[in-house]
Structure 1
Amino acid sequence: MSRKVMIVGCGDVGSRLGRQLVAGGWEVHGLRRNTSALPAGILPVPGDLGASACPPAWPQGELDYVVFSAAASQHDEAGYRATYIEGLRHCLGWLEQRGQRPKRLLFVSSSGVYAQKDGEWVDEDSPAEAESYSGRVIREAEQVALASGIPASVVRLTGIYGPGREYLLRQVREGYRVAVEPPLYANRIHAEDAAGLLACLLRADADGKVLDNCYLGVDDAPAPLAEVVDYLRGLMGVEHWAAEQSVRRAGSKRCSNARARALGWIPRYPSYREGYAAILAGRDD
């Protein structure tokens, strides 16, 4: 039976999700300001999360699922609140205006809600007590989703990379240095796998499986950043180092994907090695 899903904030990950669902026979609607960038097969819904009035092109009738995957365009606390809290509240208001109650809401969150920084293993039950404004606001938005009256799951994605998300590759080409000791653990997920996890959750719910209220989206291999940099230097043939001293970024934790894997999700790119090799080979799958 065909399912109808509304992807609110249909950017890179949302568009990848939409393509996967369309291929499976789902009816997919995608909301964004500029809908000309949506892939074929996703029904366009021009709209602005800053508006309280429901977008005119919002789908009519029954709506099975909503995925809220917006990204803040203004990177300060006010911008985060406008997108993740007020934008989500507006979205919930649009559902109420149309008399729709989806079977489930997926709220795309971030592992930035965690404050752990000493290489600890983190899962969905670990304390989420971020000190940064971004982590605090997203944590507050999670609570709005979970208290919405609609069955909801938050999906905390780790560092998303993929075609068009190549900041680390550019850094390595420039001779990026990173401290080796103590190890700075980083967590990643390829954009296609992030979309695949969201699709897995939607299909599982549609099949009657019981979902948890939180999932971590991360590949199988959190790794020290120095290890990743060494691998990429070898892959790209970079031999020089930048003149600056070694860089150590704040934060270090290892996120577990055991809960998502227990549901049946299998990442296409189990580690940074397969993912970055695909990018450098020019593959976008």
Structure 2
Amino acid sequence: MKKRILIAGCGRIGQRLGKALAQQGHSVFGLRRTAAALPKNIQLIQADLLQPDSLRMVVPEQIDQIFYILTPSDYTDAGYAAAYVEGLANLLNLMQIRNTRLPRVIFVSSTSVYGQSAGEWVTENSPTQPERFSGQRLLQAEQLANDYTGEFISIRFSGIYGPGRERLIEKVKAGATCQATPPLYTNRIHETDCVGILMHIGNLAHPEDCYLASDHDPATQCEVMQWLAQTLGAPAPTPVSGAQSGRRCDSSRLQRSGYQWVYPDFRCGYERLINGDCALDERY
């Protein structure tokens, strides 16, 4: 069934998602605060999520699905509160006061909502006790689902990498340290899988209310950086000591839902970035 889909925060991931959805025949609207050009198959809607009046004037009626994929204008508590809490609340309120069939809302959150730091495995059911403002505000945004009577699904992405997100590669090339004692666990997901997962969740008939989205290999920082150094022909990272061990993300629920990863581990994903010859092709 063809849908009318609104992507709120139509940046890099939103545009890739919008193009893929439009190619499937859906009507796609990209909401941005500025009049930046979007791909021709995404209709620009210029509005400020912090200005409810502007939303009412331009957001189309009869939206079937909303993807909320914002980036804060500044990385402060106030910036996160505005982008993720106030902006989302304004959009959800607009959907409800229109008194029409409520759209499915898919909210892009983060694994920063977890506070575990001793190497524990975390799932969607693990306690969420974030220590930093970023995770606190994202968790507050997720909790807006309690007042929304339509479908609301949170997707907690781990660290995103991919084209244009190659900071770790450059860091290893320049010579770097890695935390070996205690081992620091890291979690990541390729940008292509972010797009694929969003499309997958959008198409599920009966989704869960939350999904943890990370690849299959929550490897240690040293394991990842040592592999990168060897692949790049760069100096091996220098092992150092640290205070915490991070966490390990378990994406079993997403796997059980039927999603097939394009890049199931860091080796395949980073090999594609370095050499362009990964055996798995990008789908989106």
TM-score between both structures, scaled by the size of structure 2? 0.91
Q: How does 1:138-153 map to 2 (within 5 A)?
A: 138-153=138-153
Question: 1:148 is aligned with what amino acid?
Answer: Y
User: For 1:1-285, what aligned pairs fall within 5 Å after superposition?
Assistant: 1-55=1-55, 56-59=57-60, 61-96=61-96, 98-204=98-204, 209-239=205-235, 246=240, 248=242, 252-281=246-275, 285=282
Q: CA deviation at 1:247?
A: 6.9
CA–CA distance in structure 2, aligned partners of residues 65 and 3 of structure 1? 7
Q: 1:176 to 1:50 in 2, by over 3 A?
A: same
Work out the CA distance in 1 between the residues paired with 2:107 and 2:146.
Answer: 9
Which amino acid in 1 is paired with 2:140?
E
- Give me the whole-angstrom Cα distance separating, in 2, the residues matched to 1:185 and 1:112: 14
Question: Offset of 1:145 from its aligned partner?
Answer: 2.9
Deviation of 1:133 (Å): 1.1
Question: How many residues are matched?
Answer: 278
| Cα gap change, 1:248 to 1:161, in 2 (>3 Å) | farther
Taking a change above 3 Å as real, the CA distance of residues 98 and 45 of structure 1, as seen in their structure-2 partners, is: farther
RMSD: 2.1
**8 Å contact kept, 1:54–1:97:** no
Aligned mates of 2:30, 2:143 — CA distance in 1: 24
* Unaligned stretches of 5+ residues in structure 2: none
Could you tell me how far apart the structure 2 residues matched to 1:251 and 1:77 are?
25
- Partner of 2:207, secondary structure, is coil
- 2:84 partner SS: helix
Identity of aligned residues (%): 37
- 1:100–1:69 distance in 2 versus 1, CA, 3 Å: farther
1:255–1:265 distance in 2 versus 1, CA, 3 Å: same
| Alpha-carbon separation, structure 1, partners of 2:102 and 2:51 | 21
Per mean C-alpha deviation after superposition, the further-off stretch among 261-270 and 25-34 is 25-34
Task: For residues 11-61 of structure 1, give each alpha carbon's deviation from its aligned partner in whole angstroms, at most 9, with x where no partner exists.
Answer: 1221222122122221111111235342331111112222121444422x3
Equivalent residue letter for 2:24 = G
SS at 1:170 equivalent: helix
Distance 1:247 1:172 in 2: 18
Counterparts of 1:249 and 1:73, CA distance in 2: 31
* Change over 3 Å in CA distance of 1:277–1:76 after alignment to 2: same
Instruction: Give the structure-1-normalised TM-score.
Output: 0.90
The aligned amino acid for 1:50 is L
Q: In structure 2, how many angstroms separate the alpha carbons of the residues matched to 1:81 and 1:186?
A: 26
Q: CA deviation at 1:89?
A: 1.2
2:181/2:241 contact within 8 Å kept: no
Report if the CA contact (8 A) 1:68-1:107 is conserved.
Answer: yes
Q: Cα gap change, 1:29/1:248 in structure 2, threshold over 3 Å: closer, same or farther?
A: farther
Q: Verify the 8 A CA contact 1:32 1:48 in the aligned structure 2.
A: yes
The letter for the 2-side match of 1:235 is T
- For structure 1, the residue ranges without an aligned partner over 5 or more in a row are none
Closer, same or farther: CA 249–20 of 1 in aligned 2, 3 Å: farther
Q: CA deviation at 1:274?
A: 1.0
Q: Deviations over 1:156-175 (max 9, x none)?
A: 01001111111211211111
- Take 2:84 and 2:244, find their aligned partners in 1: how far apart are those partners? 24
Q: 1:149 to 1:97 in 2, by over 3 A?
A: closer
Q: Distance in 2 between matches of 1:84 and 1:184?
A: 29
| 1-structure distance, mates of 2:86, 2:244 | 29
Give the Cα–Cα distance (whole angstroms) in 1 for the partners of residues 120 and 58 of structure 2: 46
Give, in whole Å, the separation in 2 of the partners of 1:282 and 1:51: 43
